Amino acid sequence: MACANLHCKRGWTCRDDCKYECMWLTVGLYVQEGYKVPQFHGKWPFSRFLFFQEPASAFASLLNGLANLVMLNRYKAAVPPSSPMYHTCIAFAWVSLNAWFWSTIFHTRDTNLTEKMDYFCASAVILHSVYLCCVRTLGLKRPAFATVFGGFLLLFLACHISYLTLVRFDYGYNMAANVAIGLLNLFWWLGWCMRNQQRLPYVWKCVAVVLLLQALALLELLDFPPLFWVFDAHAIWHISTIPVNILFYREVKAAYLGFPGGHLSSHRNFSSARGLLHMPLDRARGFC
């Protein structure tokens, strides 16, 4: 089959373009004979756009990254570096941005490297969320424990990546590991929120974030052919998480500004908050 020069110029090799055309020829034959749409190497067929292999998932990943970046800048503008948890939240934001970057790259072009980076960076986000929970619930009172626990999580991530890279890239193991860590993260956050719901009225946002993320992740279980050959369950999942990023950053800003709504609506409010923003760490521990 002749190579489509236009797509070759957009980064598709003749071999890749031939695979793409043969894939759709096969899909057409299956549908014509009344069979279900087949998967190719475990993945649904997608209609490419320009150089995007999975345009909806790639665009949604990009929007998630942009939402993270915008809210990160707003957080940095509202919360001073001297406040508790500032650097931990900033680090989590950059880990998330890195994950969305590789998710965008992976859905643009599916290669062995981009797939691994997408999976590994997603695992890093889940583990860092557990670390964020540890620091917020225990770390301000027991910083040594948080440091040791953070080291353990880094060691686990290194072993996880080493196994998938050097031994066998096991999709089932990777899924099971991420689900287990995600459940630990869920119940830890919910436990902390339940204990502090009377004292800290803004924790409902934290509850909403963790429950929404877990509920939306269930979309991955809906394995169906892409709608219009563009929107599959994975793409819809990524689209659904965009507003959750905004809610998450509003919650952490509310927590460390000390306002239930997390907004600095007036100069008077800002002045009254300055004492909280710059209070010593030992006094700030009472807010966690």
For 180-210, write each residue's pLDDT tens digit: 999 999 999 999 888 888 887 778 888 888 8
Within a domain: residue 254? Answer: yes
Within a domain: residue 30? Answer: no
Q: For residue 141, which amino acid is it?
A: K
Within a domain: residue 69? Answer: yes
Within a domain: residue 144? Answer: yes
If phi > 0 it is left, if psi is from -120 to 50 it is alpha, else beta; for residue 85 that is left
Within a domain: residue 227? Answer: yes
Give 10-residue mean pLDDT values along the chain (288 residues): 53 78 86 85 82 91 95 88 86 96 94 94 95 86 89 97 94 92 93 85 83 85 84 91 86 63 37 35 40
DSSP 166-192: II---HHHHHHHHHHHHHHHHHHHHHH
Within a domain: residue 23? Answer: no
Within a domain: residue 135? Answer: yes
The residue range of the domain holding 235 is 56-287
For 223-274, write each residue's pLDDT tens digit: 888 888 889 899 999 999 999 888 888 777 776 665 433 344 333 333 333 3
User: Residue 172 in contact with residue 157, Cβ under 8 Å?
Assistant: no
Q: For residue 213, give the H/E element and its range.
A: helix 203-217
What is the total count of domains within the chain?
1
The whole-number pLDDT of residue 258 equals 57
CATH number at residue 191: 1.20.1070
Within a domain: residue 11? Answer: no
